[in-house]
Amino acid sequence: MTEAKGPMVEANRISKMLNMVLGPERFPVKVDELAQEYSRQCFADSPIDKIQGEDLDGFDGLLKANKSRSKWLILYNSAVRSEGRKRFTIAHEFGHYLLHRHQQSEFQCGDDDIETGDRNKNNIETDADLFASTLLMPLDDFRKQVDGQSVSFDLLGHCADRYGVSLTAAALRWIEIADKRAVLVASRDDHMLWAKSNESAFKSGAYFATRKRTIPVPRASLVYSDNCSGAAQSQSIQAKVWFPREPAYVELTEMSKIAGNYDYTLSLLLMPEAEWRQPQHDDGEPEEDTFDRFINNGQFPDRK
Ligand SMILES: [Zn+2]
Rounded to whole angstroms, the Cα distance separating 236 from 251 reads 7
CA angle 157, 269, 240 (to 5 degrees): 165
* pLDDT range class, residue 20, cuts 50, 70, 90: very high
Domain 7-136 in this protein, CATH class: mainly alpha
Q: What is the pLDDT of residues 114-128, one digit of tens each?
A: 777 665 556 899 999
Q: What is the pLDDT of residues 190-223, one digit of tens each?
A: 999 999 999 999 999 999 999 889 999 999 999 8
- pLDDT value at residue 119: 55
Q: What is the pLDDT of residues 52-97, one digit of tens each?
A: 999 998 889 999 999 999 999 999 999 988 899 999 999 999 999 9
Q: In angstroms, what is the span from residue 63 Cα to ligand 1's centroid?
A: 8
- CA dihedral sign of residues 99, 7, 206, 200: positive
Residues sharing a CB contact under 8 Å with residue 52, sequence separation 6 or more, in sequence order: 73, 74, 75, 76
Q: In angstroms, what is the span from residue 93 Cα to ligand 1's centroid?
A: 6
Q: In angstroms, what is the span from residue 13 Cα to ligand 1's centroid?
A: 21
Q: How far is CA 47 from the centre of its chain?
A: 27
Q: Using alpha carbons, select from 135, 144, 112, 96 the residue that is nearest to residue 12.
A: 135
Q: In angstroms, what is the span from residue 182 Cα to ligand 1's centroid?
A: 26
- pLDDT value at residue 263: 83
Q: In angstroms, what is the span from residue 125 Cα to ligand 1's centroid?
A: 5
Q: In angstroms, what is the span from residue 145 Cα to ligand 1's centroid?
A: 28
What Cα–Cα distance (Å) separates residue 187 from each residue in 17, 46, 70, 205, 265? Answer: 39, 42, 43, 20, 5
Rounded to whole angstroms, the Cα distance separating 34 from 91 reads 10
Q: What is the pLDDT of residues 274-294, one digit of tens each?
A: 875 544 444 443 443 444 444
Amino acid sitting at position 35: A
Q: In angstroms, what is the span from residue 177 Cα to ligand 1's centroid?
A: 24
Going from N- to C-terminal start, the domains of the chain cover 7-136, 178-291
Q: What is the DSSP string of 156-189?
A: HHHHHHHHT--HHHHHHHHHHH-SSEEEEEEEET
Helix (H) or strand (E) holding 41: helix 31-42
Q: In angstroms, what is the span from residue 103 Cα to ligand 1's centroid?
A: 13
Rounded to whole angstroms, the Cα distance separating 203 from 210 reads 17
Q: In angstroms, what is the span from residue 139 Cα to ligand 1's centroid?
A: 22
Q: Cis omega (within 30 of 0) on the bond before 279?
A: no
Q: In angstroms, what is the span from residue 7 Cα to ligand 1's centroid?
A: 13
Q: In angstroms, what is the span from residue 186 Cα to ligand 1's centroid?
A: 21
Residues sharing a CB contact under 8 Å with residue 37, sequence separation 6 or more, in sequence order: none
